[in-house]
Amino acid sequence: MAHSTEHDLNCLTIAELEKIARDRMDKQTRDYYNEGADSGSTLAENQSAYNKYRIRPRVLRDVSRIDTSVPIFGQRNAIPMGVAPTAMQRLAHSEGEIATARACAKAGIVMGLSSFSTTTLEDVAEASGHNANVLQLYLFEEKQHSIELIERAKKAGYKAVLLTVDTPYLGRRNLEIRNQFKLPAHLKIANFAENPDDMEEIENESGDSQGSQQAKKIRRRRASSVGYQNGERRVAPTGPITFHSHAPNPLLSWEDSIPWLKEVAHPMEVWVKGIATGEDALLAIHHKVDGIVVSNHGGRQLNGALATLDALPEVVEAVNKRVPVHVDGGIRHGTDIFKALALGADFCWIGRPVLWGLAYKGEEGVALALRLLSDEFRLCMSLAGVTRVSDISKEYLVKMNRDGFVSKL
């Protein structure tokens, strides 16, 4: 990808994009997208952790040719960055996940799709053409729903599933509670038929007993809609699939999730998203995952947890290159990607900046967010004297102590 010379003079940084997007979202959406759990300290530290590191640039090296690309999920990804799965993107823009998929495909950047998207995974795959997609999964208590979703993902050409493992319960998001967050009536959680219209569609389209059986099952599920909230076990989720009721699953354990998922998802890769310690990284390897994403869900789950950049080194050390280690959370500049890679990450994922791009200008806004980060990363590599991503190492980083002294890593 050539260094871009096109500028949007209203928006030259992700920080500016965040500000512009603020005013373009309704209050419910803005609060849902932007907030973290409880006081939001982990959300803030995900970002500020990057300020504890400084880059040690090397000079007088020929940097006229820079290759920012990396191999991942069977494609050459333009830079070591993907779009993290975030739910319900049509809240930000009417084209939602389709706009994101098109922008990713044009930029050659992998897209992670949330199970709780407002567009079906098939439509997203179609909008992506040959670009790689991965599907984020919440494993439901009713395994059949998960099996159906996984089979559909395989058929649609998804390369991997990212099992989110940091949501036995949903974190406490106070604004979401105060706003009584609800998906507006014109939107739906598209991967799961859950309203009367959908049931009719299933019956009409299939015209067979399988379709009407599925509709019956859905009707039965609608009988109760109580799920898990606020860390408290309530009634098992039997109502329609909503994120409040079905995303959290406190019953999951290593033994009964990963081996099962590996079998069902084959030949797609199985990754775990939401690892924050060396101990769990070792367990993930023991259970033969294909990769690990160090994540605290963008500070939306356990507030008070370590910033992801601070958790990264112990995971990298425990993994010792046996599987790839990715990281997300608080990445707002191309230099952040460089720092994460210097600390041992193989790849980064970004969440909210893409949502802000969507809110700003749909596909064009997502393209802008991706371009800003890509251009900054490329320039950072050039100015640090690195021409290949695989050469980024801890030699290029120092950590600032509280008293301002630097220490080599």
Q: Are strands 397-400 and 53-55 parallel, antiparallel or unpaired?
A: antiparallel
The token pair that represents 375 in the structure block: 């251009």
Q: Which of 49, 193, 247, 389 binds ligand COI (CB under 6 A)?
A: 247
For the chain, how many residues are written? 409
* Cβ at position 138, least distance to ligand COI in Å: 7
Q: How far is the CB of 248 from ligand COI (least distance, A)?
A: 7
If binding is defined by CB under 6 A, does position 297 make contact with ligand COI?
Answer: yes
Query: Which region holds residue 334: left if phi is over 0, alpha if psi is between -120 and 50, else beta?
Result: alpha
Picked from ligand COI, ligand FMN, none, the partner binding residue 305 (CB below 5 to 8 A depending on kind) is none
Which are the catalytic amino acids? 297
The Cα 247–Cα 70 span in angstroms is 32
If binding means CB under 6 A, how many residues of this protein chain bind ligand COI?
Answer: 7
Residues 188-247 that bind ligand FMN (CB under 6 A): none
Min separation Cβ 92 and ligand COI, Å? 13
- 280 annotated to bind ligand: no
Amino acid at 391: D
Residue 243 as a binder of ligand COI (CB under 6 A): the answer is: yes
> In the bound complex, what is the minimum distance in angstroms from residue 219's beta carbon to ligand FMN?
26
Cα separation, 199 vs 216, in Å, equals 9
Residue choice 82, 96, 351, 365 for contact with ligand FMN (CB under 6 A) = 351
Say whether residue 188 binds ligand COI (CB under 6 A): no
Report which of 4, 13, 92, 40 is spatially closest to residue 336, judged by C-alpha positions.
Answer: 13
The interaxial angle of helices 352-384 and 96-107, nearest 10 deg, is 20
Structure tokens at 341: 């890679």
**In this structure, what token pair is assigned to residue 398?**
């120092």
Which CB sits closer to ligand FMN, 83 or 215? Answer: 83
Dihedral, 319, 42, 141, 257 alpha carbons, nearest 10? 0
Minimal distance, residue 104 CB to ligand COI, in Å: 19
The answer to the question of residue 273 lying near ligand FMN (CB under 6 A) is: yes
Q: Does residue number 84 form part of the binding site for ligand FMN (CB under 6 A)?
A: yes
To ligand FMN, the closest distance from the beta carbon of 117 in angstroms equals: 8
Of 32-61, binders to ligand FMN (CB under 6 A) are 32-33, 46
116 versus 396: smaller Cβ distance to ligand COI: 116
The answer to whether the annotation marks 86 as part of a ligand binding site is yes
Which ranges of 156-297 would DSSP assign to H, the alpha helix?
174-178, 196-206, 209-221, 243-246, 254-265, 278-286
Q: Please provide residue 225's backbone torsions phi and psi, each rounded to the nearest 5 degrees.
A: -130, 20
Among positions 50, 116, 169, 192, the unique one binding ligand COI when judged by CB under 6 A: 116
239 assigned ligand-binding residue: no
Instruction: Tell me if 235 sits within 8 A of 224, measured CB to CB.
Output: yes
Pair type for strands 269-275 and 291-294? parallel
Distances (CA, A) of 89 to 190, 211, 266, 363: 11, 28, 28, 12
- CA quadruple 370, 376, 379, 385: dihedral, nearest 10: -110
Among 123, 74, 135, 71, smallest CA distance to 96 is for 123
The only residue of 42, 119, 133, 136 in contact with ligand FMN, by rule CB under 6 A:
136
Find out whether 214 is annotated in a ligand binding site.
no
Q: Return the residues of window 88-117 that contact ligand FMN according to CB under 6 A.
A: 114, 116
Return residues touching ligand FMN (CB under 6 A).
32-33, 46, 84-87, 114, 116, 136, 164, 273, 295, 297-298, 300, 328-331, 350-352
Q: Which residues carry a binding-site annotation for glyoxylate?
A: 32, 138, 173, 297, 300
Q: Which residues carry a binding-site annotation?
A: 32, 85-87, 114, 136, 138, 164, 173, 273, 295, 297, 300, 328-332, 351-352
Return residues touching ligand COI (CB under 6 A).
87, 116, 170, 243, 247, 297, 300
Q: Which residues carry a binding-site annotation for FMN?
A: 85-87, 114, 136, 164, 273, 295, 328-332, 351-352
